[in-house]
């Protein structure tokens, strides 16, 4: 995810101006650079983002520049049934990220939610639907389609064969019926019709997959592709993230690194340097950060967001929910702060020095070990 520029315009003032003088608000936004427009949208409350996008002179330029998670949050806040005009301008990569973030519950694809996204995409027009279908993993598409549709392929050597009752076909070879009698197949048939006309080989691949591929194989490959992409967005694989809850023997919990280099990451993690508030100003973590140099603070914020992402994955929080990051940030602040106080007290050093001489992951592990009942892994959201 790309960094967002600082000092965005006053979003509240712009929205208030739009109520009294919409043309003036539109002119104010038009004077901003593309980067400032993106920052303004991302800083706006989710409930107001649709109104703000409508004020932009060229939303088709701003929407593709939104960070993937912000686009997902925005579409969800608008409501997928009303978000087609936003998804029409989204890039294929953004659409894939939206499903990666929002259409999974833990390690399993949420096929109902994924179908909601596909329906919204289909409502954005054939071109948008075709781009999305070609970008999404075929294994995931097969899982989504098979959750609502059964497919029977006409045999080549059975002259007496009869198609299933109520079966619908586009080409006389594959016949589709609803899994449940009341299932609405219209969105699925619309997508398949577009693929049949525009990308027959993908159409054929999906119908063949629904007939012959094992569900377990489809699930495994879908999860594998998603895991790799989420790592690019800063979310580690679950088994790696869950290491933050590793047990540490009591006599090792106060260990410090020999040199104060815990904040020297040596690389740019790609997560935004500007993060939500990470705790009360009087809390141990905030006090420790206040002792850092400016360059150390930048490295701290990078490392802190990495930890927040690890918590979100380890606790199987819904990554497409805008409240997940603040919740992970709050937990990171409290648990790291507890570990930081323990390490500083046991070594008789300042909080800032302890922060310099131990990694945030280790400090979180210490804090979680000190109070496992309140700081352990959360139950997955239903």
> Is 76 domain-assigned?
no
Of 324, 290, 278, 258, nearest in space to 73 by CA: 324
- H or E segment and range at residue 222: helix 215-232
Residue 242 domain-assigned (yes or no): yes
Shared domain check, 118 and 161: yes
Task: Name the domain boundary from 175, 205, 232.
Answer: 232
User: Residue 115: how many CA atoms within 13 Å on its side-chain side?
Assistant: 19
| End position of a domain, from candidates 179, 209, 232 | 232
Task: Give a yes or no: residue 85 inside a domain.
Answer: no
pTM for the full predicted model:
0.85
Percentages helix, strand, coil for the chain (3-state, rounded to 5) are: 60, 5, 35
The pLDDT, as a whole number, for residue 343 is: 96
Q: Is residue 79 part of a domain?
A: no
Q: Which domain holds residue 360?
A: 238-375
Same domain, 5 and 97: no
* Whether residues 254 and 153 fall in one domain: no
Neighbours of 172 (CB within 10 A): 8
Whether 176 and 306 map to the same domain: the answer is: no
CA atoms within 13 A on the CB side of 331: 27
Per-residue pLDDT of the chain (382 residues; tens, 9 = 90+): 444 444 445 777 888 888 888 888 888 888 889 999 998 898 888 888 998 899 999 999 999 999 999 999 999 999 999 999 999 999 999 999 999 999 999 899 999 999 999 999 999 999 999 999 999 999 999 999 999 999 999 888 777 888 888 889 999 999 999 998 888 888 889 899 999 999 999 999 999 999 999 999 999 999 999 999 999 988 999 999 999 999 999 999 999 987 766 565 444 444 444 455 555 567 899 999 999 888 888 888 888 999 999 999 999 999 999 899 899 999 999 999 999 999 999 999 999 999 999 999 999 999 999 999 888 887 665 4
Token readout for 275 is 């993060």
For residue 157, count CB atoms less than 10 angstroms from its CB and return exposed for 0-12, middle for 13-18, buried for 19 or more: exposed
Distance CA 374, CA 368 (A): 8
Question: Helix or strand or coil: residue 352?
Answer: helix
**Token reading at 302:** 């990078």
Q: Which pair of tokens denotes residue 26?
A: 């539109």
| CA–CA dist 242, 61 (Å, integer) | 38
Q: Is residue 38 part of a domain?
A: yes
Instruction: Provide the domain count of the chain.
Output: 3
């Amino acid at each position: 995810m790309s960094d967002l520029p600082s000092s965005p315009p006053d979003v509240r003032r712009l929205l208030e101006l739009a109520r009294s003088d919409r043309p003036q608000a539109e002119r104010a936004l038009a004077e901003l650079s593309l980067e400032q427009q993106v920052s303004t949208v991302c800083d706006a409350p989710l409930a107001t983002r649709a109104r703000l996008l409508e004020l932009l002179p060229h939303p088709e330029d701003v929407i593709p520049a939104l960070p993937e998670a912000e686009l997902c949050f925005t579409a969800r806040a608008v409501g997928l049934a009303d978000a087609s005009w936003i998804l029409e301008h989204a890039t294929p990569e953004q659409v894939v990220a939206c499903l990666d973030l929002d259409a999974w519950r833990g390690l399993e694809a949420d096929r109902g939610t994924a179908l909601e996204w596909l329906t919204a995409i289909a409502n954005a027009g054939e071109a948008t639907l075709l781009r999305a279908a070609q970008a999404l993993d075929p294994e995931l598409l097969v899982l989504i389609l098979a959750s609502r549709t059964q497919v029977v392929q006409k045999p080549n050597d059975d002259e007496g064969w009869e198609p299933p009752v109520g079966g619908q076909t586009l080409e006389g070879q594959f016949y589709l019926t609803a899994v449940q009698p009341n299932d609405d197949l219209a969105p699925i048939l619309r997508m398949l019709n577009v693929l049949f006309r525009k990308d027959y080989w993908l159409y054929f691949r999906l119908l063949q997959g629904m007939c012959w591929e094992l569900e377990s194989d489809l699930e495994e490959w879908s999860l594998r592709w998603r895991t790799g992409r989420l790592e690019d967005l800063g979310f580690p694989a679950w088994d790696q993230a869950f290491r933050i809850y590793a047990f540490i023997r009591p006599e090792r919990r106060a260990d410090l690194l020999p040199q104060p280099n815990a904040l020297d990451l040596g690389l740019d993690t790609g997560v935004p340097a500007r993060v939500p508030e990470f705790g009360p100003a009087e809390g141990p973590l905030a006090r420790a950060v206040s002792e850092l140099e400016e360059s150390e603070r930048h490295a701290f914020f990078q490392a802190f967001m990495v930890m927040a992402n690890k918590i979100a994955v380890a606790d199987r929080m819904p990554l497409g929910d805008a409240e997940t990051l603040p919740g992970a940030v709050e937990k990171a602040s409290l648990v790291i702060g507890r570990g930081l106080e323990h390490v500083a007290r046991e070594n008789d050093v300042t909080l800032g020095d302890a922060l310099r001489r131990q990694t945030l992951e280790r400090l979180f592990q210490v804090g979680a070990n000190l109070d496992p009942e309140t700081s352990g892994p959360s139950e997955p959201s239903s």
